[in-house]
Amino acid sequence: MKILVPIKRVIDYAIKIRVDPSKGPHAVQQANVKMSMNPFCEIAVEEAIRLKEAKQNKDDEVVAVSIGPKQCSETIRTALAMGADRGIHIETKGDVRGDYIDLQPWGIANLLKGVVEKEDKVDLVLLGKQSIDSDCGQTGPLLAGLLNAPQATFAAKVTRGDDGSFVVDRETDAGTETIKLKTANVPAVITCDLRLNTPRYPTMPNIMKAKKKSVQVISLEDMVKELGLNLDDVLKPRNQVVEVYEPPPRKEGEFVESVDALVGKLKEKGLVG
Amino acid sequence: MSTRCRWILFGQGSLRNIPATTRAALPKSVSSLSVFTITDHHHSHQETRHILSHSSFFSRDFHESSAARTHSPDKCPSTPCRLPSNFLSALQSRHPELKISTNPYDLDSHGHGESYHPSSPPDAVIYPSTVEEIRDILSLCCREVLDDESDSANKDGNDKLTIVEVVSVIPYGAGTSVEGHLNMLLPTEDQILQVPSSMFTGHDGSDTHRTIKIRRRGGISIDMSNFQQIGNVETGDLFVKVGAGVTRNALNEALRHTGLQFMVDPGADASIGGMVACGASGTAAVKYGTMRENVLALTAVLPPTKILSSHSAAFSDIAKPDIVHCGSTALKSSAGYNLTALLTGSEGTLGIITDCTVKLHPIHNNVIAAVCAFDDLHTAAEAVTTIRMMGIPVSRIELLDEMSVHAFNKSLQCTERSEASKEKDSKLQLQPMELKPTLFMEFSAHSEKAVQEDLSAAQIICVDDFDGTNFVSASDEETRQALWAARHRLYYSSIALRSGDGEREGATPRSTLLTDACVPLSHFADILSATARDVKELGVVGPCFGHAGDGNFHCIMPMVESDTEDYRKRVFQVNENLIRRVISVGGTCTGEHGVGYGKKKYLERMYGKGGIQLMTSVKKALDPWNVMNPGKIVDL
């Protein structure tokens, strides 16, 4: 079984985002800010490793792939430390922004399609349901469409059947849905939601071991050429960010003197019948 | 009825968490409104953050301690502010961005920790972001005033009497203290002292003395939650520098990809600064040590030593207290007086810690958890002592008595739990445990072989030498969680032993006496058993458990409002008895929780008059005006 896990390097979820409105669409400050693996991508990596551990098959492989600047290699090393077997780093120039300004889901999905085909015999592509910087949630479904692959999004549980199919529990607003994805010549594409698992913290020995695992580094330009794609198609944004601004500061709450007054206010605001 | 209410409104929840009196007053139509209060400790830290970050009424004052609860709103005070009239305004004009609150809820929540000690709120809460702001605040805390009282005093007396107004200060971390550290206890009487004139900032150089009358003018809480910096960990270094307000869970989350973790685990999500100030410890101490062994360096702002003369400019350099850098990031140092140790455990009485450099430890690959039951508590404790004597490395070793196990079993049957927590329990396949004193162990090592050897060595001792039964071990994460569930949930399941019955409120952390004592291992079995026996004989609810590998144990005694005076007396009697026994065998009246004000009386028994004198001298030297957390550890 071969599982491909695309991962994205984003601003760490615990960091307070700083917005400089004078920078227009580039308002979100990325310089000198702590970056980490997108939390949903971490969940995807964890799930891939669990699927591999469940089968205990020596030939099973989890491949982490990331598209981004030089520092993405650190993010890939984290995936390797968690248990992925090897990595592919498609390196972009330092000034190319991954948070929906330059690289966008359409371009990424096209690149990933190429990687899937080049890798050959990929059984599953596991992605996070969305990244926390762009919050698009599009890369997974776009990739499935390009590959003509069966897909299930917002997975809360994934199991592999003996016939090679994947059974996914999806969380939706209406309830939980169970879907079976049959894989034949194309991999299944599954995007992972919060409650799928709790990612492990890599241990120190595994971090050390990860340094020896192989990471293929290839520039974006070279990869595009190799895959027979058009660089413009990949890099040109489909959507243009017009404006970025912080939401207005929260207004201070009101104090009320009694429960009656509280109920009155709630009625006033139409929150209570 | 006038009930002031504080609500966090969003998403799903249940009306059950609203105090009964308030719930009764809401019209039926409000059942469609959802209110969520953060009391369910079963939510993972990540989930709670996720939920909170999406709420539209996110209260800034919520701190991420899963046990933090605002106390009943009925008890919020609205007492007049005791601070000097221009204290806050002077600070605000100098630092317009500085957040200052006199909101009664902020005051109340900053006037208590998580213990039975009732709230004694400060007169204001200040939220500084820089060390300079703290220095400015402290420089105003001891000021000469010229007013009617000083005028009349000088008219009557022969000597000039100078009035000095002192504002007390308590630094606030995450509010998880369990010995009343955060209670603002002000000296009730004004002191009259003779001091050298050189103690005044406007000193004229003469070698004279002045008579001063110290007038206490309330107190402030300095909330350190803006000190959130987490430094980078250089490859090869086993430490990190953090702001005092960083909580230990936030620190470990930030470190999650480094392979290193901060290994002092007091259970609560305390702030690092608070943990240093109170000398915190926890289940991992048996292998990794307490806070004492894990802090390498720290920065602190010292209390003001000079009195700000009425004609001196406020905030001038001469008035500002010193900053001290203690310790070094070298793993060993023998350079001068150990100032880091002095401030560790000083409970906010000697200064305000602003940042700390703490040790980190690598996470091992191989972890095994194990559980074993014993016929009686004494035998179980002896097994632990033997394991330690044999030098078998254990990462954690905790001993729960029968009542603690019973608390866990009872909690499994509790129907009033959230769906999420019931789901989690069934996933872990939790079963009630055998009603016997039980040992909970954890082993970790750098290799599979090593950890297996540690495990079997401990197993042989437990089972063969001490007739332990039902020795079970596991290495996968989920089964380990399941095996340790009774220990992880101990605090809340113990408090839930005295749950409410729909009409009357049950026990809460705020109505629970949590004892803490530590003895040499040779006495551990005897003292622990004697305490458990006391609990039984005095007829109180009091599960006992111990960080057995250190000889440190606690008794959790929840109380409810309807308890009789006699019952409460018996609860406190258990504590008195156990401390008496502990000190008589050379132990300490507090292993981890600190002295606060409730345990001051035991210090003389432990250290003798000389010891108390020395501590008083230190306090006087650093904080002559008793600005910092008065009434704790020693009295001036």
What single string gives the DSSP state of each residue in B509-525?
GGGEEE--EE--HHHHH
Q: Which residues of A touch B259 (CB under 8 A)?
A: 81, 201-207
The Cα A18–Cα A40 span in angstroms is 22
Reading phi first (left if > 0) and then psi (alpha if -120 to 50, else beta), residue B279 is in left
Q: Residue B292: enclosing H or E segment and its boundaries?
A: helix B291-294
**pLDDT above 70 as % of chain A:** 100
Report the pLDDT value the prediction gives residue A52, as an integer from 0 to 100.
95
Query: How high is the mean pLDDT of chain B?
Result: 86
Tens digit of each residue's pLDDT (9 = 90 or more) over B7-52 = 333 333 333 344 444 444 444 333 323 333 333 333 344 443 444 3
Under a CB-based contact definition with an 8 Å cutoff, are residues B585 and B527 in contact? yes
Best to test chain B binding among A204, A251, A263 (most B CBs inside 10 Å): A204
Three-state SS across B344-410?
Answer: CCCCCCCCEEEEEEEECEECCCEEEEEEEECCCHHHHHHHHHHHHHCCCCCCEEEEECHHHHHHHHH
The Cα B606–Cα B598 span in angstroms is 15
B5 to chain A, any CB pair closer than 8 A? The answer is yes
CB pairs under 8 A between A and B: 75
Report the pLDDT value the prediction gives residue B3, as an integer from 0 to 100.
28
> What is the C-alpha end-to-end distance of chain A, expressed in Å?
56
Under a CB-based contact definition with an 8 Å cutoff, are residues B370 and B473 in contact? yes
Comparing alpha-carbon positions, the chain B residue that sits nearest to A210 is B259
Tens digit of each residue's pLDDT (9 = 90 or more) over A10-59 = 999 999 899 988 888 888 988 889 999 999 999 999 999 999 999 888 89
This model's pTM is above 0.80? yes
Under a CB-based contact definition with an 8 Å cutoff, are residues B255 and B262 in contact? yes
Best to test chain B binding among A50, A201, A208, A255 (most B CBs inside 10 Å): A201
Best to test chain B binding among A262, A265, A267, A269 (most B CBs inside 10 Å): A262
Instruction: Say if residue B549's pLDDT is above 70.
Output: yes
Residue whose structure tokens are 């005897």: B526
Report the pLDDT value the prediction gives residue B41, as an integer from 0 to 100.
35
Q: For residue B159, how many other CB atoms are within 10 A of its CB? A: 11
Under a CB-based contact definition with an 8 Å cutoff, are residues B623 and B346 in contact? no
Q: Which residues of B touch A78 (CB under 8 A)?
A: 257
What single string gives the DSSP state of each residue in B564-593?
-HHHHHHHHHHHHHHHHHHHHTT-BS-SSS
Contact A253 B254 (CB under 8 A): no
Query: Tokens representing B604?
Result: 């003389």
Rounded to the nearest 5 percent, the helix, strand and coil shares of chain A are 35, 25, 40
Q: Which residues of A touch B33 (CB under 8 A)?
A: 266, 271-272
B254 to chain A, any CB pair closer than 8 A? The answer is yes
Tens digit of each residue's pLDDT (9 = 90 or more) over A224-253 = 999 889 888 888 888 998 888 888 888 877
Query: Tokens representing B133?
Result: 């702001």
Contact B58 A256 (CB under 8 A): no
Report the pLDDT value the prediction gives residue A171, as an integer from 0 to 100.
84
**In B427-575, at which residue ranges do the beta strands (DSSP E only) sit?**
438-445, 469-474, 512-514, 517-518, 544-547, 552-558
Tens digit of each residue's pLDDT (9 = 90 or more) over B282-315 = 999 999 999 999 999 999 999 999 999 998 888 9
A201 to chain B, any CB pair closer than 8 A? The answer is yes
Q: Which residues of B touch A34 (CB under 8 A)?
A: 254
The Cα B211–Cα B459 span in angstroms is 69
The CA angle A239-A245-A248, to the nearest 5 degrees, is: 140
Distance from the Cα of B364 to chain A's closest Cα (Å) equals 6
Tens digit of each residue's pLDDT (9 = 90 or more) over B469-495 = 999 999 998 899 999 999 999 999 999
Q: Is B505 exposed, middle or buried (0-12, 13-18, 19+ CB in 10 A)?
A: middle
Confidence label for B166 from pLDDT (cuts 50, 70 and 90):
very high
Residue type, B352: I
Report the pLDDT value the prediction gives residue B15, as an integer from 0 to 100.
38
Instruction: Say if residue B564's pLDDT is above 80.
Output: yes
Report the pLDDT value the prediction gives residue B69, as an integer from 0 to 100.
32
Distance from the Cα of A67 to chain B's closest Cα (Å) equals 20
Comparing alpha-carbon positions, the chain B residue that sits nearest to A258 is B2
* Region B453-468 average pLDDT: 97
Interface of A with B in 223-252 (CB under 8 A): 250
* Region A134-157 average pLDDT: 96
